[in-house]
Structure 1
Amino acid sequence: MKVAVIGGGWAGLAAAVELTAGGTATTLFEAGRVLGGRARSATIDGRELDNGQHILLGAYRETLALMHQVGADPATLLERRPLQVRDNSGFRMALPHLPAPLNLAWGLLAARGVGFAEKLRTALWMDGIKRQQFRLETDTTVAAWLDAAGQTGALRRHLWEPLCLAALNTPPERASAQLFANVLRDSLGSPRRADTDLLLPRANLGRLLPEPAAAWLQAHGAEIRLKTRVDRLETTSDGVLVDGQPFAGVVIACAAQHVAMLWPEAATAYDYEPIATIYLQFSPETRLDFPLVSQLGNHGQWVVDRQGGLLACILSGHGDWEALTDEALADELESELNLTTKASWRKVIREKRATFSGRPDIARPACTTSHPAVFLAGDYTWADYPATLEGAVRSGRRAAQHLLKI
């Protein structure tokens, strides 16, 4: 069976690997020059950098399994650490190497910068959420959910709100409480301690999946067509035509905003959120106390230590920072870091439509379509999660499994 995958992001790669492993002759179409979609590496100012910063968790089981499948060893490429949330105000919550849920209970009890009464209220709230199996009666915003739960103190500002913004790329005032609850269910609320671990990249995103997946696909007979934009998709009695070329079936794995051009019934009316990554190069000995820090200031949100003195500052969701020039934004973030040395090199990477906005009750399309040989993949189709790499990978594998059954 000859099949096509349109889109070479992580969803498309997952679909292509699953289809090829299932014995199909797979052709992967990608409009760009490299694979990886919004999680890719690029050469910028002579440096190999990621187009944005992504943090993985131990709960990314399908992503880790896919990496293993294509020969990318997570143990080598990712640094696994117990979750810590700390910021420049002195707040710190660190989970110990204890079985779940004792690790969370101990981490909450030992958290710095939080009173005991608030810790107790939060522990009782988390226990209640677990007993409800992380299902809300009605969806609302994260801000309203936290208000109703009495989560209005230090943990809200230093833990829940930063985690919400990191996971949903949407400010708590607009973010879906149910999507956030789903994230908590599979991370802090998971019965597996390993699911709460941080997985920090030791290598660029290209080496984590796109490059080894491409090598695996080609070694197993798949065809990859880079710089090939698909303009037309037509259905026939026995399959589909991709720009006139016949295939038995197709997985459409391009970004949500581009799907309607190929398959109008899948048109979506999402709002989108931006992401900016500001790379700052300091002297090689510069390092953070922990590789991931929540940066509280006028604009800064998270800082990742990429080693060798390179820090990546991440800004997610619409905000005042969008009005700043690249130079002014880099100036602000360097000032907020308050380091003793000055950055010798700076680069701002902005994506205006980085992810769909994870708002309450947004409509999410199914994997299947009105045609039995056309399937959709992409993080926007994995309704259980916000826009995440794990959702993308799961959606790609699911779409491929459907296609293999026709």
Structure 2
Amino acid sequence: MDATPHYAVIGGGWAGCAAAVTLAAAGRRVSLFEAGRTLGGRARRIEVDGRSLDNGQHILLGAYRATLKLLKQIGVNADEAMLRLPLQMRYPEIETQDGMDFLAPRLPAPLHLLLALLRAKGLTREDKLALARFSSAARWMGWTLNDDCSVLELLERFDQTERLTRLMWAPLCVAALNTPPERASAQVFLNVLRDSLGARRAASDMLLPRTDLTRLLPQPAADFVGARGGKLYLGQSVAAISPGSTRQGDAAARWRLALKNPAHELDTDLEFDAVILATGPETAADLLGEIAFDDANHEAAIGRQIDAIRALQYEPITTCYLQYDADTRMAAPFYALLDDPAQAAWGQFVFDRGQLSGNPADAGLLAVVVSAAGNAIADGHAALAQGIAAQLARSLQQPALNSPQWSRVISEKRATFSCTPGLQRPDNEDLPPGLRLAGDYLAGDYPATLEGAVLSGIASAQSLLKQIT
């Protein structure tokens, strides 16, 4: 085993777990370090008042090929772990003529979209023609823009109606990019549409986790790595990374890690043949900034990545959990909601956790998502929960929803980077041998999504596998 290259992965989020699995599957020794006590990063399980909840409700897509392939590799049956639903944008407000009901049938693409458009309720003939016009134009352009612009500008360019923008495009944009349409990158939005609406029918399916997010991928990934001799160190925060010794005849420098509070079975300094830095962007920048190099080119490359990371802006995601009587059940597993900040109606999507998990402990538990809305918690968590409860009561026409038995607001203030037009994201260009970054914030086609994180982790690991044999 001493002759086998030893890799350190710092960060047990989805990117770090994907990297660790890729390395372990290739027969490499892997040590995975996670500062927290729970794997998953910004998509993980948390314990609240004796309950197991997620720090945010997620929708995956059938287009997430890398994630689905990884789940299969680590032994997770995606059809059991997630509820697969056809593409839909359904509002309970359709009963009051304020919403829409768009549901794609299980037909081959693009017939499923055509029939869904013809059957859609709540859209006028003008709305439907506008949607068809936009979809056709996007395909004709190859889902590519010569010059990036905001999503709102793109929609205006193709004469999308106000109603269609409000009920379809804006919610999809916020859900996918976690950035408001007036500030969101049209090119990245088109990339997501290309791989979902513009691909085979199954790619547009919506996948809702039935289990908590840690159990969905990170924990099985860690088990996969452990079964192949890898080590997992929870509660181990890396204090510094520094170049170590160099193996004779090996062009790749070894790397040394220093831990803040090393466990008793660990030395304070650990050497590895390569390191994948899969922490959040700010932590990655801090660690990179402390590395001292003799090579001016490597130092300059590190400096460029730090500058790109520091330039990122961030968007929050807030999830409000509300517990009602166990017999409370929505007519569908989830709905889109008409948000109206003026009425403290911040909710954009509501999920029936009882239907999704099938766990009696989740019966009557609703999860409401508020994306890219920094002002949602300005008046405090209690006010937000009260406003959302009133919103649910109006939208679902159930007055009893005004009075939940219990509520909890969980807010990730830096959930994702702000995905703006022409954004220059960090990458791994010209980094020193044996050092790579991984995370959903790195350059790529996708916004900050679980698929983006997985793709980044796999790519970083594969790059090092080619470099170090």
Interval containing the TM-score (normalised by the shorter chain): over 0.9
AA at the equivalent of 1:292: F
Q: Aligned to 2:370, which of 296, 311, 315?
A: 315
| Structure 2 residue 88 is the aligned partner of structure 1 residue 80 | no
Where do 5+ consecutive residues of structure 1 fail to align? Answer: none
Deviation at 1:361, TM superposition (A): 1.0
Among all aligned residue pairs of Structure 1 and Structure 2, give the percentage whose two residues are the same amino acid: 47
Deviation at 1:376, TM superposition (A): 1.1
Q: Secondary structure at the match of 2:271?
A: strand
After superposition, residues 57-76 of structure 1 pair within 5 angstroms as 57-76=61-80
Query: What is the CA–CA distance in structure 2 between the aligned matches of 1:62 and 1:367, rounded to whole Å?
Result: 20
Query: What is the CA–CA distance in structure 2 between the aligned matches of 1:352 and 1:158, rounded to whole Å?
Result: 25
Query: What is the CA–CA distance in structure 2 between the aligned matches of 1:285 and 1:158, rounded to whole Å?
Result: 30
Deviation at 1:117, TM superposition (A): 2.6
- Does the aligned pair in 1 maintain the 2:32–2:231 contact within 8 Å? yes
Q: Aligned to 1:347, which of 377, 384, 408?
A: 408
- Does the aligned pair in 1 maintain the 2:133–2:158 contact within 8 Å? no
Match of 1:263 in 2: 288
AA at the equivalent of 2:270: Q
Q: Secondary structure at the match of 2:108?
A: coil
Match of 2:235 in 1: 227
After superposition, residues 322-333 of structure 1 pair within 5 angstroms as 322-333=377-388
- Give the CA RMSD over aligned residues: 1.2
After superposition, residues 194-343 of structure 1 pair within 5 angstroms as 194-236=202-244, 237=246, 238-243=253-258, 244-264=269-289, 265=302, 266-267=305-306, 268=309, 269-298=311-340, 299-307=346-354, 308-338=363-393, 339-341=398-400, 342-343=403-404
Q: For 1:219-248, what per-residue CA distance to the aligned partner results, in whole angstroms no more than 9, with x for missing partners? A: 111111111111111124432112232111
Query: What is the CA–CA distance in structure 1 between the aligned matches of 2:373 and 2:338, rounded to whole Å?
Result: 16
Query: What is the CA–CA distance in structure 1 between the aligned matches of 2:148 and 2:446, rounded to whole Å?
Result: 14
Deviation at 1:181, TM superposition (A): 0.6
- Does the aligned pair in 1 maintain the 2:315–2:374 contact within 8 Å? no
- Does the aligned pair in 1 maintain the 2:243–2:255 contact within 8 Å? yes
Query: What is the CA–CA distance in structure 2 between the aligned matches of 1:340 and 1:285, rounded to whole Å?
Result: 15
Runs of 4+ in 1 over 6 A off after TM superposition: none
Query: What is the CA–CA distance in structure 2 between the aligned matches of 1:318 and 1:43, rounded to whole Å?
Result: 24
Q: For 1:66-124, what per-residue CA distance to the aligned partner results, in whole angstroms no more than 9, with x for missing partners? A: 11111111111111111110123311100001100111111112111111132123212
Task: Compare 20-29 and 242-251 and name the one that shifted more.
Answer: 242-251
- Does the aligned pair in 2 maintain the 1:368–1:374 contact within 8 Å? no
Query: What is the CA–CA distance in structure 2 between the aligned matches of 1:167 and 1:283, rounded to whole Å?
Result: 32
Q: For 1:324-347, what per-residue CA distance to the aligned partner results, in whole angstroms no more than 9, with x for missing partners? A: 211110000000001332311111
| Structure 2 residue 40 is the aligned partner of structure 1 residue 48 | no
Query: What is the CA–CA distance in structure 2 between the aligned matches of 1:78 and 1:335, rounded to whole Å?
Result: 29
Query: What is the CA–CA distance in structure 1 between the aligned matches of 2:157 and 2:29, rounded to whole Å?
Result: 53
Which structure has the larger Rg?
2
Query: What is the CA–CA distance in structure 2 between the aligned matches of 1:180 and 1:255, rounded to whole Å?
Result: 23
Q: TM-score, normalised by structure 1?
A: 0.97
Q: For 1:356-401, what per-residue CA distance to the aligned partner results, in whole angstroms no more than 9, with x for missing partners? A: 1111111112234420211111011142110000000011011000
The total of aligned residue pairs comes to: 405
Match of 1:375 in 2: 436
Q: For 1:272-324, what per-residue CA distance to the aligned partner results, in whole angstroms no more than 9, with x for missing partners? A: 00111000011122222221211113211111111111110011113431312
Match of 2:39 in 1: 35
Deviation at 1:212, TM superposition (A): 1.2
| Structure 2 residue 117 is the aligned partner of structure 1 residue 117 | no
- Does the aligned pair in 2 maintain the 1:382–1:394 contact within 8 Å? no
Q: TM-score, normalised by structure 2?
A: 0.84
Query: What is the CA–CA distance in structure 1 between the aligned matches of 2:50 and 2:377, rounded to whole Å?
Result: 26
- Does the aligned pair in 1 maintain the 2:339–2:347 contact within 8 Å? yes
- Does the aligned pair in 1 maintain the 2:130–2:161 contact within 8 Å? no
Query: What is the CA–CA distance in structure 2 between the aligned matches of 1:84 and 1:65, rounded to whole Å?
Result: 24
